[in-house]
Amino acid sequence: MNNSADSRRLKRIRYESSGGSMNYHSEFEIEAAEGEVIRTAYRSDHYFGRAEEEASPERLAEIDRSGLVSGEDSMTVREHIPADRALWEALAGEVGYLKEQLRPVDTEKITFRPDPGDFMLDGGDYQRLWLTWETTDGEETVRYYPPSGNRWSSVLEIIHEMSRPVGRDLRLIGETVMTEFFLKTPKYSYQITPIKGSDSYYFFVHGDSSPVSKVSREQWLTVRGFLSGLDVSGFGTGKYESKYYLRLNFNDGINKNLEADKKTAGLIRSFIRESILGE
């Protein structure tokens, strides 16, 4: 969830990536700040997806002509482009929710010493991310390991749209919320999972009786509120084979697989049977 105690404000982003020699023409770079794309570089023949397919060739040519083509492989470089305010606000919002997932790179530990006889290919794949924050003491630039999950995919869509604006569907994640859960114990299991294209949820119960197999959104929100209030900080990583296994899924794709205990499992079971089944 968003860390309200972290008052840093995003000032600038720099991102570089490549799929390596196995992903031809996939190199991409962008450095952007509020109000301006400082520099971006890409190969237009590598862009793909519905937004590019639906854009007119004239529109794509207009975007690419506004940059410089460099080198024999036609890398398009665009500099000092006015940045769409809504795009920057979307980027800053998504990055703000990512703060808890970001891990700084320890540059002193970045070493690579290939063993004699190792077979090497040119052009390895990579992702590099730098964020500049506005703090109470000025500015701070930190290099991070790029995270994973749906929210990071959303960030990538935003910066690609900033680089080559063709009207991508940004699918912003927004506030981090729980979307479903699964509890398994030696004697029973409970699961609530969304039904695609519906406001209802599947309600799976095994080992216990249940007269219903679907619940409303309101019922799920009641259960979600209870689950969100549980203290799971002391639980370690769990697996399906764990005696008491609890999985909490979130809309950003960063899910929790926990090794719970008998007491917590009993609390969850009792709450669900009371709130949904009226016992």
Task: Give the pLDDT of residue 4.
Answer: 46
Q: Could you give the CA distance from residue 33 to residue 132 in angstroms, rounded to a whole number?
A: 9
C-beta neighbour count of 18 within 10 angstroms: 17
Q: What percentage of the chain exceeds 70 in pLDDT?
A: 90
pTM above 0.85, yes or no: no
Task: Give the pLDDT of residue 72.
Answer: 57
Task: Give the pLDDT of residue 2.
Answer: 47
Distances (CA, A) of 186 to 162, 243, 246, 256, 261: 51, 6, 13, 20, 11
Average pLDDT, the chain: 89
Lowest mean pLDDT among 54-58, 161-165, 214-218, 256-260: 54-58
Task: Give the pLDDT of residue 69.
Answer: 72
How many Å separate Cα 69 from the centre of its chain?
A: 32
Domain ranges of the chain: 9-163, 178-275
Which single residue is written with the structure tokens 């008491």? 244
User: 163: buried, middle or exposed (CB in 10 Å: 19+, 13-18, 0-12)?
Assistant: buried
Q: Could you give the CA distance from residue 104 to residue 89 in angstroms, rounded to a whole number?
A: 23
Split at pLDDT 50, 70, 90, the class of 45 is confident
Choice between 124 and 54, residue whose per-residue pLDDT is larger = 54
Span 135-169, pLDDT tens digits = 888 899 999 999 999 999 999 999 999 999 999 98
Q: How many residues make up the chain in this entry?
A: 279
